Structure 1
Amino acid sequence: MKKILSKWNQISLVKRIIVGLVIGIILALTIPDIAKPIVILGSLFVGALKAVAPILVFFLVMSAISQHKKGQQTNMKSIICLYLLGTFLAGLIAVVASFMFKITLTLGAGVEDVVPPGGVVEVLKTLLMNVVDNPVKALFNANYIGILSWALILGIALKNSAESTKLMISNVADALSQVVRWIINFAPLGIMGLVFDSIATQGIESLLGYGQLIVLLVGCMAFVAFVVNPIIAFIGMRKNPYPLVFKCLKNSGITAFFTRSSAANIPVNMGLCEELKLDKDTYSVSIPLGATINMGGAAVTISVLTLAAVHTLGIEVDIGMALILSLLSAVSACGASGVAGGSLLLIPLACSLFGIPNDVAMQVVGVGFIVGVIQDSCETALNSSTDVLFTAVAEFAKKRKEGNNN
């Protein structure tokens, strides 16, 4: 048994995940009733990642800030600019694609107990209130904006503390990182349970009626992942970006696709940054920040579904309105992380730009929930893998400039 486990652990994590994925699909298609108990494996895996992620981020950021030396440079400005640029361009690509391939919807799906935000002001207010959230409450509710703000404040306050105190915080952060590595080793079993649950409960047939919409959504996200992001990366690094792009998609995107949670994927992204030998002081802040404001996939979802409603109702849209939608979807997506329901709840906000009634907009949200099994998975994979990509691009671009100066 030990030999089998040893050989199994020698196989790369991605290959083990693919094995778990294939087994989950086979069980869901052949013996869904008998294999139903394996669903708990997926719930345990995602639950464990979500449980450790908030406290991991809190201690990593606090440790990085408290030990930051005066004059030591980080790339946070560049990374934030890349996050915002990437999110805006994703929304713009979705708008252009929606005009090229006009999709109409058969409205009528109902949505229960869903309350969308009233406007951009409300979204931004929620974002600001999350910054000053009670620290214990922020940890309990996995409010990463609040966790980041308190970690930054405490880190700055601890800068002048004794070295032994800083060492203790660093040791706790390292211990939590080790716990994460143990949890990630169970990813193949967790993903087997998750993919089994998706296929067994949602079914592939329920998605066929929305094939064109799914193709447009996934197509836009794929274009962003394989064309737009590599162009941004090339401009920054001045070298072939695809090895880095594919590594981020493989190591981060696959797990994010199945967990469907940017928060749960934070530990995975931290591990990938460590593997890429990036600056820990930078990525310990940029990765959790990216999980809240780097939302290219969400911008695509908001733009595509809003314009599908526009085309269904025969509303004329000019270029100016389309550009405003791109900007609105980007701003809304950045502020949507703390809103329950994710990007779909921002659709009524975008629909209001075109005078679409709220009851019609909520039917569009209902369509979004139906295709969500694919849309949300692809959206999370794009968002999460791009967090690592842009963090790496900023650091490699900085090293390139330093090399040119020398």
Structure 2
Amino acid sequence: MQFPVTVIDQLDEAQLRKWHDFYGVTADRPRFEEEGIWRRTQQEETASNSGWTGESDARRRIVHYWHQYGLVDTTAALSLAMQQMYLYHSVAAPQAEIDEAWEQNHAMLTEGGWKKTGPGRFELGDLRVHMIRVEEHPEDLRAGRRLPEDYEVIDTTFTSVNTFPPRAIRRRPWEVLTHGVRVKDTPGKPIYADDLAQLTDFLPFQVEVGCGVSYEAGIPPLHRLHEMYHVNEIEDELLGKGFTFVLAPGRDPLLAEMFIGTEDKVGELSDMYRACFNAEVTPALHALKRMEEAGHMVGPFITNNFDALGARAGFEEEFMRRYDQRIPPVTFHPDAKALVVVGLHADRRWVAKRAREAGLKVFHVDPEGFPRPDGSWFEYPLEAPQTGDVVVRKTAADAIGDLERLLNLGARIG
């Protein structure tokens, strides 16, 4: 297992410009980093997903990754590579389950050809793993959290050679855990419309985009990461999607792949970053940029996406993706009369809440589902559009394209 791990071999001039302009160390934010956190807890609030039945059920699984990418020399041209990899996995469960998992983990390390270098420490080429088992986790003690008496914790940390994440990064999943589970909003009674015609009464508008826009660019949806890091059980095989938490520590599917199929798994972990880098700006984003230039739309361009498509379309991005439930600081243009939320689902609803409080009309563009590979439709309704909001059940390409034609027609008539 050698690092760096090539993601895109031999970049051409256009790809190199893209890297330096939008992803490298001189970009407006550190897009050379890729990070994700999931915490799955067994508690009353998550009973339908976690199988919680009472106070003795307190299983927990945390997954945190933080990878860094950059340019590396090859014989012919510069290549894009994963230069540093950090993957943290923590599981809490009853002692009997931890006993079994501890034995299985060591058996998988042996099967995968890992070399023991010290107590709980192993290496495979340029990749290191540190595995510890404790009755009380230091972060639980710090937070005053108590697991049931017979529970124990296994922490497993993978790092590529010479990778030393700052303490603030290492503690981030535990900070997220202290915020508790995400509470679903209660939906109101929005108006469902065929198009964004009503938006013409609320110009100029501002935009917030979610992964629906990225999906139209060919970037896999978020549940691809859930599948890759085995966050939930797969219940829809065609989509690789499910909602039941992975909690049982025995032969954990993520650890099994990391221990036994290491090179293939590490290569897979860069799939999303590669897809984001290779994606092209969509017609919907180009149309929004033309609307901004015409004065119909104002910035900044509020985004929850790490793909840089907004910046590459020419927008000033305001990045909202964060790992807590607090209302984010967000800049609303003083002239904005509406917020158009495009392709955004459950987690990131605070910007719309702030917009309503600021007196903006909120429009949602989302087909509320997407096709499976076999052509059947997967229903994925918006979580909580509120009374007074307008929902247009269309893709960004269709809804934004229709809006641009409507505005152009109005300009010609005017």
Same fold (TM over 0.5): no
Tell which has more relative contact order, 1 or 2 (C-alpha 8 A, sep 6+). Answer: 1
- Structure (1/2) with the larger helix percentage: 1
Which has the larger Rg?
A: 2
Name the TM-score, length of structure 2 as normaliser. Answer: 0.28
Name the TM-score, length of structure 1 as normaliser. Answer: 0.29
- Structure (1/2) with the larger strand percentage: 2
